[in-house]
Amino acid sequence: MSGRDGDARPVMRPDEELLTPREVAEIFGVTAATVAAWARVGMIVSFVRTPGGHRRYRRAEILALRDARRPAEPNPEQGMEQDAVRLYEQGWPIRRVAAEFGCSYGKMRRILVKHVVLNGRGGVRPS
């Protein structure tokens, strides 16, 4: 979209709602700093900047992006991994966490090493 005389100013419809980075962050469940990082790398595109240089985003575009990012079905494996990490970080030994989820020590160790640095066994940092 462009304004008059060939400049590249966006044209805003009267019924269009713009969001601040904080409002976008609330929609995605992240921080405003994460929203700014997404904008810098082009994951989301700001519609306009205020005279003070602050980004504003179209509500309709943000909601469409959010809806497109939602998985069709919840992944129970991912929820289990988050729960396992939480228990491990609370001090549960790997064997106890594995028993809680009915899997082997080795499988639980592989799950945990993806998310946290394991205590005392030379764990690998997650990437």
Q: How confident is the model at residue 22 (pLDDT cuts 50, 70, 90)?
A: very high
Least confident span in 6-10, 28-32, 40-44, 72-76: 6-10
Note whether 16 and 52 are within 8 A (CB): no
Lookup: tokens for 48: 């306009």
In a domain, 125, yes or no: no
More confident call, 97 vs 42 = 97
Please check whether residues 22 and 64 belong to one and the same domain: yes
Instruction: Tell whether the model's pLDDT for residue 57 goes beyond 70.
Output: yes
Least confident span in 32-36, 59-63, 122-126: 122-126
Q: How confident is the model at residue 18 (pLDDT cuts 50, 70, 90)?
A: very high
Residues 46, 126: Cα–Cα separation, whole Å: 31
Please check whether residues 61 and 98 belong to one and the same domain: no
CATH number reported for the structural domain that contains residue 24 in this entry = 1.10.1660.10
* Predicted pLDDT of residue 59: 92
Lookup: tokens for 24: 């976008």
Please check whether residues 55 and 101 belong to one and the same domain: no
**48: phi then psi, degrees, rounded to nearest 5:** -155, 160
Task: Read off the pLDDT of each residue in 78-107 and give the average, rounded to a whole number.
Answer: 90
In a domain, 127, yes or no: no
Instruction: Tell whether the model's pLDDT for residue 122 goes beyond 80.
Output: no
Least confident span in 40-49, 71-80, 91-100, 107-116: 71-80
* Predicted pLDDT of residue 90: 93
Range of the domain at 53: 4-69
